[in-house]
Amino acid sequence: MMLRRMIYLSIKEMSTVASDVIIVTSSLTRDMTGKEDSHRGPAIRALCKITDASMMQSVERYMKQAIVDKLPSVASAALTSSVHLMRQGPEVVKRWVNEVQEAVNNDNIMVQYHALGLLYQIRRTDKHAIRKLIVKFSKAGLRSPYAYCFLIRIASNLINEEGEGTDSPMYDFIDSCLRHKNEMVIYEAASTIVSLKCVTPKELSSAVNVLQLFISSPKPVLRYAAVRTLNKVAIQYPAAVTACNVDLETLITDSNRSIATLAITTLLKTGNEAGVDRLMKQISSFLSEISDQFKTVVVDAIKSLCQKFPRKHTVLMTFLANMLREEGGYEYKKAIVNTIISIVEENPEAKEAGLAHLCEFIEDCEHTSLATRILHLLGREGPRTTTPAKYIRYIYNRVILENAPVRAAAVSALAKFGAASEDLLPNILVLLQRTTLDQDDEVRDRATFYYQLLKHNDKALNSAYILNCK
């Protein structure tokens, strides 16, 4: 048995390089019509793999018989293989439509699903026929939940392609599937409704209500599917998901970390300003239990929350700063630094607090690229703050303690403070003069260049070569 199956696989793999595959067709035809049921399905798949347009006529009779075969494995093999044969000879496969329609009425759920898929491929160019197909089976009913899911996707494509609204029969069919007895079909309908181009917040409510019920399901797969879909809905329609917030909060402690992370990021998108403090407290206890990958997702969600509620920058910035102090990899730290930098650049009120947190971070930063980026930011934004002198210590510490690339970035940052503030210039000149003795060529050259430039105290030169130099 196993040897025979390996032979079928070998035939399929070798068909792309062999010149005379026709010599095995008689053997495969004999197997697919033989009495050994376990050989028939694999033989059909192998035969269809080696069949080209010139051989379609010779296998047509056998394929039509196999499509309506009583054995589900044989019928499914014939139907799925016919989908592939559509590429070789679509006109020949279209002649099998009667057999395919008979297979759609098969009691086996997989045969029914595969038959519906082939029937769609045969009629896909005829929009009117596709509509009739959906209407027919939505009224007659199908045994297969997979077939229902496929019908929902066909109806969704029609609605989006034809620009139809929620008053169309196609939408009515999808909406009716929300009340199906099978959870897979219900979820497919809800997921489809929330992704339709024509949907409005009013129509969303029915789908969101279904997803809200799934949140409380004992099945992890349903909880995950529901919260993942709600997470996507919250991006465009946060108000529509707000009703689920209480249920989503229960998922923060879910044993499945993926579900918990999605619940948190959804809450961050839908929460109101008054609930930010409470939400941050809930999240803080959870973060220590998840990996850097999930933490990065949470950081991205916090970034969106900062943009949504700029007045909450103090709470959010403190939370991010605490995350920076924890153990973590480069990508995780990079996400936090990027978020703090974006807050500093977008919210003037948060600038000094953000710079202070970044200064603390570079005191013990093991990532060169992050340290140099922060130093560049300090050089650009630091001189514009009310007390720029407080940043000099942090920057000069990098000149003393860090590797050459970070030292070079620190020298450039110091020069910007000297160019922007006459009060700080004497101290900056002293620090730069000390650095002209650095062991690294790049650091030494930068220090010498900036020292000579700043010593002349020429505003035009400072502006051209230090402050506005790119």
pTM of the entire structure?
0.76
Each residue's pLDDT tens digit, 21-77: 666 766 777 777 777 777 788 888 877 777 777 777 778 888 888 899 899 999 999
Residue 102: per-residue pLDDT: 92
Structure-derived torsion over alpha carbons of residues 6, 7, 8, 12, reported in degrees to the nearest 10: 100
Each residue's pLDDT tens digit, 379-403: 999 888 888 899 999 999 998 888 9
Residues of the chain with pLDDT under 50: none
Percent of the chain predicted with pLDDT > 70: 94
Each residue's pLDDT tens digit, 213-234: 999 999 999 999 999 999 999 8
Residue 470: per-residue pLDDT: 55
Residue 207: per-residue pLDDT: 92
Q: Spell out the domains of the chain, with CATH numbers in brackets.
A: 1-125 (1.25.10.10)
Residue 444: per-residue pLDDT: 92
